[in-house]
């Protein structure tokens, strides 16, 4: 868990730049400046391990297809599961969609034959032949 850092405007470098100059009634006590520096150092030490972990995670996520956990490798693996060694003519959704569009009559005939069967869950060999030998 990343520790909550309290807002303290006196730790902001801009705070020092905007403060009135000593000649104008401003100025800082050396003890106060040291307190602020120590506070910043403590925050950095506390947050540093979390920053390192986040940096490592981002590097993994942005990695290429050879890095386990990278977005690219995960997406590639999942697409390969969908394709599942399909023949080259059907290894994209576009090719499958094109085939379906070109064969709507055949698909309709297959659906009609299956609908006319008494038990489509138990299709016999002659019925399979009938379906695919339209």
pLDDT at 102: 93
Does pLDDT of 128 surpass 60? Answer: yes
In a domain? residue 91: no
Residue among 58, 60, 66, 11 at smallest CA distance from 39: 11
pLDDT at 12: 61
Report d(CA 128, CA 118) in Å as an integer: 14
In a domain? residue 33: yes
User: In which domain, by residue range, is 56 found?
Assistant: 1-61
Does pLDDT of 66 surpass 60? Answer: yes
Report d(CA 127, CA 120) in Å as an integer: 9
In a domain? residue 11: yes
Does pLDDT of 115 surpass 70? Answer: yes
In a domain? residue 21: yes
In a domain? residue 39: yes
In a domain? residue 27: yes
In a domain? residue 107: no
pTM > 0.75 = no
Residue among 65, 99, 69, 101 at smallest CA distance from 80: 65
Whole-number mean pLDDT of the chain? 77
* Sole residue written with tokens 């299956």: 114
Contact by Cβ (8 Å): 134, 109: yes
The residues, ordered by sequence, that sit 6+ positions from 63 with a Cβ below 8 Å of its Cβ are 69, 70, 72, 73
In the chain, the number of structural domains is 1
In a domain? residue 42: yes
Average pLDDT over residues 103-122: 83
pLDDT digits over 24-41, tens only? Answer: 555 566 777 777 777 777
Alpha helices in the chain (DSSP H): 13-18, 30-61, 71-83, 93-102, 104-116, 125-132
């Amino acid at each position: 868990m990343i520790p909550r850092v309290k807002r303290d405007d006196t730790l902001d470098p801009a705070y020092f730049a905007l403060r009135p100059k000593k000649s104008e009634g401003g100025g800082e006590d050396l003890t106060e400046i040291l307190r602020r520096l120590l506070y910043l150092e403590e925050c950095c030490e506390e947050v540093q391990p979390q920053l390192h972990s986040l940096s490592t995670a981002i590097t993994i996520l942005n990695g290429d297809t050879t890095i386990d956990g990278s977005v690219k490798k995960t997406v590639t693996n999942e697409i390969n599961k969908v394709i599942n060694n399909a023949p080259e003519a059907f290894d994209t959704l576009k090719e499958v969609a094109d085939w379906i569009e070109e064969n709507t009559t055949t698909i309709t005939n297959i659906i009609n034959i299956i609908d006319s069967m008494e038990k489509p869950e138990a299709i016999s060999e002659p019925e399979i032949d009938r379906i695919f030998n339209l």
